[in-house]
Protein backbone atom coordinates (compact mmCIF):
# COMPACT_ATOMS: atom_id res chain seq x y z
CA UNK A 1 0.00 0.00 0.00
CA UNK A 2 1.64 3.24 -1.17
CA UNK A 3 1.14 6.88 -0.22
CA UNK A 4 -0.81 8.68 -2.94
CA UNK A 5 1.37 11.76 -2.48
CA UNK A 6 4.92 10.45 -2.35
CA UNK A 7 4.89 6.71 -3.00
CA UNK A 8 6.33 5.80 0.44
CA UNK A 9 4.64 3.10 2.51
CA UNK A 10 1.16 4.23 3.48
CA UNK A 11 0.05 3.93 7.11
CA UNK A 12 -3.64 4.55 6.54
CA UNK A 13 -6.27 4.06 3.91
CA UNK A 14 -9.32 6.32 4.02
CA UNK A 15 -11.84 4.71 1.78
CA UNK A 16 -14.34 7.55 2.04
CA UNK A 17 -11.76 9.91 0.51
CA UNK A 18 -10.21 7.28 -1.80
CA UNK A 19 -6.92 8.29 -0.21
CA UNK A 20 -4.01 6.46 1.38
CA UNK A 21 -1.11 8.29 2.97
CA UNK A 22 2.28 7.80 4.60
CA UNK A 23 2.83 9.02 8.18
CA UNK A 24 4.12 12.47 7.26
CA UNK A 25 1.45 13.15 4.66
CA UNK A 26 -1.29 11.85 6.96
CA UNK A 27 -0.27 14.31 9.73
CA UNK A 28 -0.24 17.06 7.10
CA UNK A 29 -3.69 16.01 5.83
CA UNK A 30 -5.26 15.92 9.33
CA UNK A 31 -3.76 19.32 10.06
CA UNK A 32 -5.07 20.89 6.84
CA UNK A 33 -8.52 19.28 7.24
CA UNK A 34 -8.81 20.60 10.80
CA UNK A 35 -7.49 24.05 9.96
CA UNK A 36 -10.05 24.25 7.16
CA UNK A 37 -12.87 23.33 9.52
CA UNK A 38 -11.70 26.02 11.97
CA UNK A 39 -11.76 28.61 9.18
CA UNK A 40 -14.91 27.47 7.36
CA UNK A 41 -17.01 27.51 10.50
CA UNK A 42 -15.16 30.57 11.88
CA UNK A 43 -14.39 28.78 15.12
CA UNK A 44 -11.58 31.00 16.42
CA UNK A 45 -8.61 33.07 15.26
CA UNK A 46 -4.92 32.76 16.16
CA UNK A 47 -5.22 35.77 18.50
CA UNK A 48 -8.00 34.11 20.54
CA UNK A 49 -7.28 32.28 23.79
CA UNK A 50 -9.30 29.06 23.75
CA UNK A 51 -9.97 26.42 26.38
CA UNK A 52 -9.30 22.87 25.17
CA UNK A 53 -11.28 20.29 27.15
CA UNK A 54 -8.95 17.31 27.55
CA UNK A 55 -9.89 13.89 28.88
CA UNK A 56 -6.63 12.03 28.30
CA UNK A 57 -8.25 10.24 25.34
CA UNK A 58 -7.10 10.15 21.72
CA UNK A 59 -9.46 12.78 20.34
CA UNK A 60 -8.76 15.59 22.78
CA UNK A 61 -5.00 15.00 23.00
CA UNK A 62 -4.66 14.75 19.21
CA UNK A 63 -6.59 17.98 18.75
CA UNK A 64 -4.65 19.78 21.46
CA UNK A 65 -1.37 18.68 19.88
CA UNK A 66 -2.49 19.88 16.48
CA UNK A 67 -3.72 23.26 17.75
CA UNK A 68 -0.48 23.88 19.65
CA UNK A 69 1.57 22.89 16.60
CA UNK A 70 -0.41 25.40 14.54
CA UNK A 71 0.41 28.11 17.09
CA UNK A 72 -3.08 28.51 18.54
CA UNK A 73 -3.34 29.70 22.13
CA UNK A 74 -5.06 26.61 23.47
CA UNK A 75 -4.95 26.08 27.23
CA UNK A 76 -6.09 22.68 28.52
CA UNK A 77 -8.85 21.97 31.00
CA UNK A 78 -8.94 18.59 32.72
CA UNK A 79 -11.88 17.76 34.95
CA UNK A 80 -11.17 15.04 37.53
CA UNK A 81 -14.40 13.07 37.79
CA UNK A 82 -13.28 10.70 40.55
CA UNK A 83 -14.03 7.59 38.48
CA UNK A 84 -12.05 4.56 39.57
CA UNK A 85 -14.25 1.48 38.99
CA UNK A 86 -11.27 -0.84 39.48
CA UNK A 87 -9.21 0.58 36.61
CA UNK A 88 -8.19 3.94 38.15
CA UNK A 89 -9.80 5.59 35.14
CA UNK A 90 -9.62 9.22 36.31
CA UNK A 91 -6.14 8.93 37.80
CA UNK A 92 -4.80 7.37 34.61
CA UNK A 93 -6.45 9.90 32.35
CA UNK A 94 -4.92 12.82 34.25
CA UNK A 95 -1.55 11.10 34.09
CA UNK A 96 -1.91 10.92 30.28
CA UNK A 97 -2.56 14.67 30.08
CA UNK A 98 0.48 15.41 32.21
CA UNK A 99 2.62 13.00 30.17
CA UNK A 100 1.45 14.69 26.97
CA UNK A 101 2.68 18.06 28.26
CA UNK A 102 5.95 16.69 29.56
CA UNK A 103 6.81 14.77 26.39
CA UNK A 104 5.36 16.97 23.67
CA UNK A 105 4.42 20.47 24.79
CA UNK A 106 6.22 21.63 27.95
CA UNK A 107 4.97 25.15 27.17
CA UNK A 108 1.30 24.11 27.42
CA UNK A 109 -0.86 25.27 30.30
CA UNK A 110 -3.27 22.85 31.96
CA UNK A 111 -6.08 23.84 34.33
CA UNK A 112 -7.19 21.00 36.57
CA UNK A 113 -10.51 20.97 38.40
CA UNK A 114 -11.03 17.97 40.65
CA UNK A 115 -14.73 17.50 41.33
CA UNK A 116 -14.15 15.43 44.48
CA UNK A 117 -11.60 17.80 45.99
CA UNK A 118 -13.57 20.92 45.09
CA UNK A 119 -17.11 19.80 45.84
CA UNK A 120 -16.64 16.85 48.17
CA UNK A 121 -17.84 13.97 45.97
CA UNK A 122 -16.83 12.41 42.68
CA UNK A 123 -19.30 11.39 39.95
CA UNK A 124 -19.96 7.76 41.00
CA UNK A 125 -20.81 8.73 44.60
CA UNK A 126 -22.91 11.63 43.43
CA UNK A 127 -24.87 9.37 41.09
CA UNK A 128 -25.40 6.76 43.81
CA UNK A 129 -26.62 9.22 46.39
CA UNK A 130 -28.80 11.58 44.32
CA UNK A 131 -32.41 11.14 43.24
CA UNK A 132 -32.78 8.19 45.58
CA UNK A 133 -29.95 6.39 43.80
CA UNK A 134 -31.77 6.69 40.48
CA UNK A 135 -29.40 9.29 38.99
CA UNK A 136 -27.41 7.97 36.01
CA UNK A 137 -23.63 8.59 36.21
CA UNK A 138 -23.52 10.01 32.67
CA UNK A 139 -26.40 12.42 33.28
CA UNK A 140 -24.76 13.74 36.45
CA UNK A 141 -21.36 13.78 34.76
CA UNK A 142 -22.63 15.72 31.74
CA UNK A 143 -24.23 18.30 33.99
CA UNK A 144 -21.10 18.69 36.14
CA UNK A 145 -18.74 18.90 33.14
CA UNK A 146 -20.88 21.51 31.36
CA UNK A 147 -21.05 23.62 34.49
CA UNK A 148 -17.30 23.50 35.19
CA UNK A 149 -16.28 24.09 31.57
CA UNK A 150 -18.57 27.07 31.40
CA UNK A 151 -17.31 28.47 34.68
CA UNK A 152 -13.62 28.15 33.77
CA UNK A 153 -14.23 29.60 30.28
CA UNK A 154 -16.15 32.55 31.66
CA UNK A 155 -13.80 33.28 34.59
CA UNK A 156 -10.73 32.94 32.41
CA UNK A 157 -12.08 35.12 29.59
CA UNK A 158 -11.63 32.39 26.95
CA UNK A 159 -13.07 32.99 23.47
CA UNK A 160 -14.41 29.43 23.21
CA UNK A 161 -14.46 25.96 24.71
CA UNK A 162 -12.92 23.48 22.27
CA UNK A 163 -13.90 19.82 22.42
CA UNK A 164 -12.48 16.80 20.61
CA UNK A 165 -15.82 15.50 19.25
CA UNK A 166 -15.22 13.75 15.94
CA UNK A 167 -17.48 12.88 13.01
CA UNK A 168 -18.40 9.50 14.53
CA UNK A 169 -19.59 11.22 17.71
CA UNK A 170 -21.63 13.76 15.79
CA UNK A 171 -23.11 11.22 13.37
CA UNK A 172 -24.16 8.98 16.27
CA UNK A 173 -25.90 11.87 18.03
CA UNK A 174 -27.50 12.90 14.75
CA UNK A 175 -28.83 9.40 14.22
CA UNK A 176 -30.26 9.30 17.71
CA UNK A 177 -31.88 12.72 17.28
CA UNK A 178 -33.25 11.81 13.86
CA UNK A 179 -34.74 8.51 14.98
CA UNK A 180 -36.57 10.42 17.70
CA UNK A 181 -37.27 13.46 15.49
CA UNK A 182 -35.90 15.77 18.13
CA UNK A 183 -36.41 18.97 16.14
CA UNK A 184 -35.01 21.23 18.86
CA UNK A 185 -31.77 19.25 19.09
CA UNK A 186 -31.54 18.96 15.29
CA UNK A 187 -31.83 22.73 15.00
CA UNK A 188 -28.90 23.23 17.33
CA UNK A 189 -26.54 20.35 16.51
CA UNK A 190 -23.61 22.19 14.96
CA UNK A 191 -19.81 22.44 14.85
CA UNK A 192 -20.15 25.86 16.52
CA UNK A 193 -22.55 26.78 19.28
CA UNK A 194 -22.58 30.52 19.69
CA UNK A 195 -22.44 32.10 23.11
CA UNK A 196 -25.87 32.74 24.46
CA UNK A 197 -27.50 33.59 27.75
CA UNK A 198 -24.22 33.34 29.63
CA UNK A 199 -23.27 29.98 28.12
CA UNK A 200 -19.78 30.06 26.62
CA UNK A 201 -19.18 29.49 22.90
CA UNK A 202 -18.42 25.86 22.00
CA UNK A 203 -16.56 24.59 18.96
CA UNK A 204 -15.61 21.19 17.54
CA UNK A 205 -12.71 21.36 15.05
CA UNK A 206 -12.58 17.55 14.51
CA UNK A 207 -16.12 17.26 13.09
CA UNK A 208 -14.81 16.21 9.69
CA UNK A 209 -12.50 13.54 11.05
CA UNK A 210 -13.41 9.90 11.61
CA UNK A 211 -12.64 8.45 15.02
CA UNK A 212 -10.10 6.03 13.55
CA UNK A 213 -8.27 8.97 11.98
CA UNK A 214 -7.98 10.75 15.33
CA UNK A 215 -6.58 7.52 16.79
CA UNK A 216 -4.18 7.11 13.87
CA UNK A 217 -3.00 10.70 14.30
CA UNK A 218 -2.18 10.03 17.97
CA UNK A 219 -0.32 6.88 17.01
CA UNK A 220 1.71 8.47 14.24
CA UNK A 221 2.58 11.48 16.41
CA UNK A 222 3.62 9.18 19.26
CA UNK A 223 1.01 10.56 21.68
CA UNK A 224 0.19 8.25 24.54
CA UNK A 225 -3.45 8.27 25.55
CA UNK A 226 -5.82 6.29 27.74
CA UNK A 227 -7.04 3.32 25.72
CA UNK A 228 -9.79 2.29 28.09
CA UNK A 229 -13.11 3.96 27.68
CA UNK A 230 -14.81 5.36 30.75
CA UNK A 231 -16.37 2.29 32.44
CA UNK A 232 -19.77 4.02 32.36
CA UNK A 233 -19.67 4.35 28.55
CA UNK A 234 -20.14 0.60 28.13
CA UNK A 235 -23.48 -0.19 26.56
CA UNK A 236 -24.30 3.49 25.97
CA UNK A 237 -26.73 4.39 23.20
CA UNK A 238 -24.09 6.54 21.52
CA UNK A 239 -21.81 3.51 21.24
CA UNK A 240 -24.70 1.48 19.86
CA UNK A 241 -25.34 4.01 17.08
CA UNK A 242 -21.63 4.28 16.36
CA UNK A 243 -21.56 0.52 15.82
CA UNK A 244 -24.55 0.70 13.47
CA UNK A 245 -22.96 3.47 11.43
CA UNK A 246 -19.68 1.57 11.24
CA UNK A 247 -21.51 -1.44 9.85
CA UNK A 248 -23.03 0.79 7.21
CA UNK A 249 -19.63 2.28 6.50
CA UNK A 250 -18.17 -1.18 5.86
CA UNK A 251 -20.43 -1.83 2.90
CA UNK A 252 -20.76 1.77 1.84
CA UNK A 253 -17.60 3.80 2.51
CA UNK A 254 -18.40 7.44 3.15
CA UNK A 255 -21.94 6.77 4.40
CA UNK A 256 -21.18 8.19 7.84
CA UNK A 257 -19.60 11.30 6.43
CA UNK A 258 -22.40 11.85 3.96
CA UNK A 259 -25.08 11.41 6.61
CA UNK A 260 -23.57 14.09 8.84
CA UNK A 261 -22.13 16.60 6.38
CA UNK A 262 -25.23 16.54 4.11
CA UNK A 263 -27.38 17.19 7.16
CA UNK A 264 -25.31 20.28 7.99
CA UNK A 265 -25.48 21.47 4.38
CA UNK A 266 -29.22 20.90 4.04
CA UNK A 267 -29.98 22.67 7.28
CA UNK A 268 -27.53 25.53 6.87
CA UNK A 269 -28.79 26.33 3.36
CA UNK A 270 -32.38 26.24 4.61
CA UNK A 271 -33.36 23.19 2.52
CA UNK A 272 -34.61 21.55 5.68
CA UNK A 273 -35.79 23.55 8.63
CA UNK A 274 -36.08 22.43 12.23
CA UNK A 275 -37.85 24.58 14.73
CA UNK A 276 -35.87 25.58 17.80
CA UNK A 277 -37.68 25.15 21.05
CA UNK A 278 -38.30 28.73 21.95
CA UNK A 279 -39.75 30.71 24.74
CA UNK A 280 -37.99 29.21 27.75
CA UNK A 281 -36.72 32.12 29.77
CA UNK A 282 -33.30 31.74 31.33
CA UNK A 283 -32.26 33.51 34.50
CA UNK A 284 -29.04 33.53 36.50
CA UNK A 285 -28.81 30.91 39.26
CA UNK A 286 -29.01 32.52 42.69
CA UNK A 287 -25.91 30.67 43.86
CA UNK A 288 -23.49 30.36 40.93
CA UNK A 289 -24.82 32.89 38.41
CA UNK A 290 -24.96 30.43 35.52
CA UNK A 291 -28.12 30.47 33.39
CA UNK A 292 -30.99 28.22 34.43
CA UNK A 293 -34.60 27.54 33.52
CA UNK A 294 -35.31 25.75 36.76
CA UNK A 295 -36.20 28.41 39.31
CA UNK A 296 -33.76 29.88 41.82
CA UNK A 297 -31.01 27.28 41.70
CA UNK A 298 -29.56 25.66 38.58
CA UNK A 299 -29.48 21.87 38.24
CA UNK A 300 -25.79 21.82 39.16
CA UNK A 301 -26.30 23.72 42.43
CA UNK A 302 -29.32 21.57 43.28
CA UNK A 303 -27.09 18.49 43.06
CA UNK A 304 -25.33 19.58 46.24
CA UNK A 305 -28.44 20.41 48.25
S1 LIG B 1 -17.00 10.35 31.30
FE2 LIG B 1 -18.92 10.87 32.27
FE3 LIG B 1 -18.59 10.03 29.77
FE4 LIG B 1 -17.95 8.42 31.82
S5 LIG B 1 -19.54 9.01 33.26
FE6 LIG B 1 -20.52 8.95 31.27
S7 LIG B 1 -20.40 11.04 30.60
S8 LIG B 1 -19.10 7.86 30.01
S9 LIG B 1 -18.09 11.12 27.96
ZN1 LIG C 1 3.67 10.43 1.56
ZN1 LIG D 1 -26.04 27.28 40.09
Mean pLDDT of the region 129-147: 87
pTM over 0.75: yes
pLDDT of residue 233: 92
Determine if ligand 1 sits within 6 Å of the CB of residue 167.
Answer: no
Question: Can you say how many angstroms the Cα of residue 183 is from the centroid of all Cα atoms in its chain?
Answer: 22
> Is 257:209 a contact under the CB 8 Å cutoff?
no
Determine if ligand 1 sits within 6 Å of the CB of residue 184.
Answer: no
pLDDT of residue 130: 82
Determine if ligand 1 sits within 6 Å of the CB of residue 141.
Answer: yes
HEC letters along 15-43: HHHCEEECHHHHHHHHHHHHHHHHHHCCC
Nearest residue by C-alpha to atom 7 in ligand 1: 138
Q: How far is the CA of 5 from the centre of ligand 2 (A)?
A: 5
Instruction: Report the 10 Å Cβ neighbour count for 266.
Output: 12
Indicate if the pLDDT at residue 142 is higher than 70.
yes
Atom index in ligand 1 nearest the CA of residue 145 equals 2
Q: Which residues, in sequence order, are CB contacts of 239 under 8 Å at separation 6+?
A: 172, 233
Question: What does the pLDDT look like over 209-245, one tens digit per residue?
Answer: 999 999 999 999 999 999 999 999 988 999 999 999 9
Q: How far is the CA of 52 from the centre of ligand 3 (A)?
A: 23
At residue 197 the predicted structure's pLDDT band, cuts being 50, 70 and 90, is: confident
Question: What does the pLDDT look like over 33-46, one tens digit per residue?
Answer: 999 999 999 999 99
Tell me the ligand closest to 27's alpha carbon: 2
pLDDT of residue 245: 98
Q: How far is the CA of 231 from the centre of ligand 2 (A)?
A: 38
Q: How far is the CA of 131 from the centre of ligand 1 (A)?
A: 18
pLDDT of residue 23: 98
Q: How far is the CA of 164 from the centre of ligand 3 (A)?
A: 26
User: Which residue among 115, 232, 237 is best mutated to probe the pocket of ligand 1, counting the most ligand atoms within 8 A of its Cβ?
Assistant: 232
pLDDT of residue 29: 98
**CA-to-CA distance for 38 and 63, rounded, in angstroms?**
12
Determine if ligand 1 sits within 6 Å of the CB of residue 232.
Answer: yes
pLDDT of residue 205: 98
Instruction: Report the 10 Å Cβ neighbour count for 250.
Output: 10
pLDDT of residue 279: 64
At residue 171 the predicted structure's pLDDT band, cuts being 50, 70 and 90, is: very high
Indicate if the pLDDT at residue 26 is higher than 80.
yes
pLDDT of residue 67: 98
**CA-to-CA distance for 109 and 51, rounded, in angstroms?**
10
Indicate if the pLDDT at residue 157 is higher than 90.
yes
Mean pLDDT of the region 50-79: 98
Atom index in ligand 1 nearest the CA of residue 230 equals 4
Mean pLDDT of the region 119-123: 92
Mean pLDDT of the region 76-81: 98
Instruction: Report the 10 Å Cβ neighbour count for 74.
Output: 25
Indicate if the pLDDT at residue 305 is higher than 70.
yes
Determine if ligand 1 sits within 6 Å of the CB of residue 295.
Answer: no
DSSP line for the chain: -B-TTT-SBPSEEEGGGTEEE-HHHHHHHHHHHHHHHHHHTT---TTSEEEEEE-SSHHHHHHHHHHHHTT-EEEEEEEE----TTTTHHHHHHHHHHHHHHHH-TT--EEEEEHHHHHS--HHHHHHHSGGGT--HHHHHHHHHHHHHHHHHHHTT-SEEE----HHHHHHHHHHHHHTT-HHHHHH--SEE--BTTBPPEE-TTTTS-HHHHHHHHHHHT-----SPPGGGTT-HHHHHHHHHHHHHHHSTTHHHHHHHHHHHHHHTTSS--PPP-----EE-TTT--EESSSSS-HHHHHT-
Indicate if the pLDDT at residue 304 is higher than 90.
no
> Whole-number mean pLDDT of the chain?
95
> Is 209:27 a contact under the CB 8 Å cutoff?
no
Nearest residue by C-alpha to atom 6 in ligand 1: 138
Atom index in ligand 1 nearest the CA of residue 233 equals 8
Angle at which helices 255-268 and 167-179 cross, to 10° = 70
**CA-to-CA distance for 238 and 172, rounded, in angstroms?**
6
Question: What does the pLDDT look like over 238-291, one tens digit per residue?
Answer: 999 999 999 999 999 999 999 999 999 999 999 999 988 766 778 899 999 998
Q: How far is the CA of 160 from the centre of ligand 3 (A)?
A: 21
Tell me how far CA of residue 195 lies from CA of 28, 134, 154, 304, in angstroms.
31, 32, 11, 26
Q: How far is the CA of 177 from the centre of ligand 3 (A)?
A: 28
Amino acid sequence: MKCHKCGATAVIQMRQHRLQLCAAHFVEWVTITTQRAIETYQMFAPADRVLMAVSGGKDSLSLWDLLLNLGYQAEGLYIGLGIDEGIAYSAKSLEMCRKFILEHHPEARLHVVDVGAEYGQGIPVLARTRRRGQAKPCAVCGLVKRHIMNRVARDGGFAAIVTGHNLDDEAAVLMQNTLHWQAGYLARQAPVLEERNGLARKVKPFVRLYEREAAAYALVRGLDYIYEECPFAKGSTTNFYKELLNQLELTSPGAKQQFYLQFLRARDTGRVVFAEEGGVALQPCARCGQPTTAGDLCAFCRLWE
